[in-house]
């Protein structure tokens, strides 16, 4: 290193030390200089610099450190002004115990994702780019707030894989980023009812089954629209099973277009269905209430172009019934007065049982299990919901895949489905019958042989039967 370079470095060091005596704008200058200097050192950017014994992160404690990743301990309650200002953070998780965040605490970062608890006191520009306003507008609700890029001032909030907005204490789901094949739309988020499924919310997802809860009233245009294969001229949407909640009033245009629905059950609450709402589905049967306003532009109806359904419904004076046709090419529909019900026909109270109580033998492994046997059978059942959870494990490990059996009219028990219960959290699934069946009971049994002895207690609810 030559003499001039050494003199230059010493001079810069002296200037930096001198500037450190000042505050305000000059203080920013010294920290900027510190940043340039430490960038040569290449600090461990993922290191947790925080003291796990402290409950407060002090003012400017970790500002200007080039951090790209932080882990804030759960015991932290207060993050003071500028605590993490001017780093390279792209996401941050605020522990649930944090109650206040000071001004500019995370300002001048590259944050596009913030996970935060409810009712946190946030000072002005703690994060910047409009986050504080969005958080307050959403009632200071817990969740993950995200934006598309570092320049955007539009933040959205996520619950699990559901993107949503809140308006006057009501929730509208406007997006989804999961990969589930079977999806049950949540009935509420953070205690607020899900009222609307927004336009394009689940556009081109690969669901095979969709359950829309009773809280929903409006399904907006193209909410479950499936893509189309232009080469082979076939729909690429995968929805073949659909349950529409009993309080839905409006189904928009092209909502379920390009899917695989063969049977559609419209609850009596629906008053209007948009054009092409169920277009390009192999629909053979529609159960519908009276006097529903059907979208029509002279060529296309709710099932698309030249299907004849709108005409058949009008010719029957818009009467309720089950409308069927012999094949997907036919424009001739036949109405019967029988209406398929999607309402809650029967709710069986949850039961707890012990290993020694109410046992029968089910499955290839001869398990003795608890069952629910009904006082009255569920007639012509097509499907039902099942809530299941382990409530107590005495010993052994019964977790994993569980088989579902139903008791038929002749007293025999037949397997009708399976689900995974990996832990003691509640699992909700939809069980579908191959054909309408009379059900006299439901039993659940581990799907595979388990080595060693097991003893446990469980709880399950059978509900929302769909019957002819």
More confident residue, 35 or 254: 254
More confident residue, 268 or 361: 268
Query: Mean pLDDT throughout 116-138?
Result: 92
* pTM of the predicted structure, to 2 decimals: 0.63
pLDDT higher than threshold 80 for residue 356: no
More confident residue, 191 or 27: 191
pLDDT in tens, 211-236: 898 899 999 999 999 877 777 767 67
Determine the 3-state secondary structure of 11 from DSSP.
helix
The confidence score (pLDDT) of residue 452 equals 59
Q: What are phi and psi of 309, to 5 degrees?
A: -70, -45
Among 99-113, 132-146, 236-250, 426-440, the minimum mean pLDDT is found in 426-440
Among 94-108, 269-283, 388-402, the minimum mean pLDDT is found in 388-402
Q: How many CB atoms sit inside 10 A of residue 451's CB?
A: 7
Q: How many CB atoms sit inside 10 A of residue 150's CB?
A: 11
pLDDT higher than threshold 50 for residue 430: yes
pLDDT higher than threshold 80 for residue 40: no
- The greatest distance separating any two alpha carbons of the chain, rounded to the nearest whole angstrom, comes to 101
List the domains of the chain with CATH numbers.
1-42 (no CATH), 43-159 (no CATH), 187-206+216-336 (no CATH), 351-467 (2.60.120.430)
The confidence score (pLDDT) of residue 154 equals 87
pLDDT higher than threshold 60 for residue 171: yes
pLDDT higher than threshold 80 for residue 341: no
**Quick check: 406 and 437 in contact, CB under 8 A?**
yes
Q: How confident is the model at residue 279 (pLDDT cuts 50, 70, 90)?
A: very high
pLDDT higher than threshold 70 for residue 294: yes
Q: What is the mean pLDDT of the chain?
A: 80
The confidence score (pLDDT) of residue 34 equals 37
To the nearest whole percent, how much of the chain has pLDDT over 70? Answer: 79
**Quick check: 173 and 198 in contact, CB under 8 A?**
yes
pLDDT higher than threshold 90 for residue 77: yes
Helix axes 25-38, 3-19, angle to 10 degrees: 140
Percent composition of the chain: helix, strand, coil (DSSP 3-state, to 5): 10, 35, 55
Structure token digits, residue 453: 């002895």
Instruction: Report the helix count and the strand count for the chain, using DSSP H and E.
Output: 4, 34
The confidence score (pLDDT) of residue 33 equals 35
Find, among 9, 32, 8, the residue nearest to 20 by Cα. Answer: 32
To the nearest whole percent, how much of the chain has pLDDT over 90? Answer: 41
The confidence score (pLDDT) of residue 370 equals 59
Cα atoms in the Cβ-side hemisphere of radius 13 Å centred on 209: 11
For 92-116, give one letter per residue: b (16+ CB within 10 A) or e: bebbeebeebbbbbbbbbebbebbb
How many residues can be counted in the chain?
A: 468
pLDDT higher than threshold 60 for residue 354: no
Q: How confident is the model at residue 396 (pLDDT cuts 50, 70, 90)?
A: confident
More confident residue, 396 or 271: 271
The confidence score (pLDDT) of residue 90 equals 95
Query: Mean pLDDT throughout 438-459?
Result: 74
Q: How many CB atoms sit inside 10 A of residue 215's CB?
A: 19
E-assigned strand segments in 23-98: 56-57, 78-79, 91-93
Q: How confident is the model at residue 338 (pLDDT cuts 50, 70, 90)?
A: low
The confidence score (pLDDT) of residue 371 equals 67
């Amino acid at each position: 290193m030559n003499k001039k370079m050494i003199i230059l470095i010493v001079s810069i060091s002296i200037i930096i030390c001198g500037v450190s005596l000042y505050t305000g704008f000059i203080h920013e200058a010294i920290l900027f200089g510190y940043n340039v200097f430490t960038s040569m050192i290449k600090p461990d950017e993922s290191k947790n610099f925080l003291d796990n014994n402290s409950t407060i992160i002090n003012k400017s404690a970790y500002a200007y450190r080039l951090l790209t990743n932080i882990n804030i301990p759960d015991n932290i309650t207060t993050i003071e002004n500028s605590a993490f200002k001017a780093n390279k953070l792209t996401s941050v998780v605020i522990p649930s115990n944090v109650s206040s965040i000071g001004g500019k605490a995370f300002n001048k970062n590259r944050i596009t994702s913030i996970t935060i608890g409810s009712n946190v006191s946030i000072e002005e520009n703690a994060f910047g780019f409009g986050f504080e306003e969005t958080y307050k507008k959403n009632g200071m609700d817990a969740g993950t707030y995200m934006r598309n890029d570092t320049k955007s001032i539009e933040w959205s909030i996520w619950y699990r894989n559901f993107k949503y907005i809140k308006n006057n204490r009501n929730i509208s789901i406007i997006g989804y980023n999961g990969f589930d094949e079977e999806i049950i739309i949540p009935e509420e988020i953070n205690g607020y009812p899900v009222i609307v499924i927004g336009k394009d919310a689940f556009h081109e997802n690969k669901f095979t089954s969709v359950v829309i809860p009773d809280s929903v009233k409006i399904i907006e245009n193209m909410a479950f629209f499936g893509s189309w294969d232009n080469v082979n001229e076939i729909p690429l949407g995968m929805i073949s099973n659909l349950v529409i909640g009993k309080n839905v009033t409006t189904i928009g245009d092209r909502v379920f277009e390009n899917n695989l629905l063969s049977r559609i059950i419209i609850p009596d609450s629906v008053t209007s269905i948009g054009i092409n709402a169920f277009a390009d589905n192999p629909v053979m049967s529609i159960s519908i209430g009276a006097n529903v306003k059907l979208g029509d532009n002279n060529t296309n109806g709710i099932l698309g172009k030249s299907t004849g359904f709108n005409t058949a419904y009008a010719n029957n004076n818009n009467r309720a019934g089950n409308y069927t046709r012999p094949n997907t090419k036919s424009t001739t529909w036949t109405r019967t007065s029988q209406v398929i019900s999607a309402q809650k026909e029967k709710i069986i109270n949850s039961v707890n049982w012990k290993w020694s109580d109410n046992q029968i033998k089910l499955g290839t492994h001869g398990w003795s299990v608890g069952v629910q046997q009904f006082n009255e059978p569920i007639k012509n059942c097509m499907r039902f919901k099942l809530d299941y959870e382990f409530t107590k494990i005495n010993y052994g490990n019964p977790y994993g895949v569980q088989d579902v059996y139903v008791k038929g009219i002749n007293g025999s028990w037949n397997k009708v489905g399976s689900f995974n219960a990996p832990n003691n959290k509640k699992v909700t699934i939809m069980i579908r019958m191959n054909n309408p069946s009379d059900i006299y009971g439901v039993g659940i049994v581990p799907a595979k042989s388990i080595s060693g002895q097991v003893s446990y207690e469980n709880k399950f609810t059978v509900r929302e039967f769909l019957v002819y």
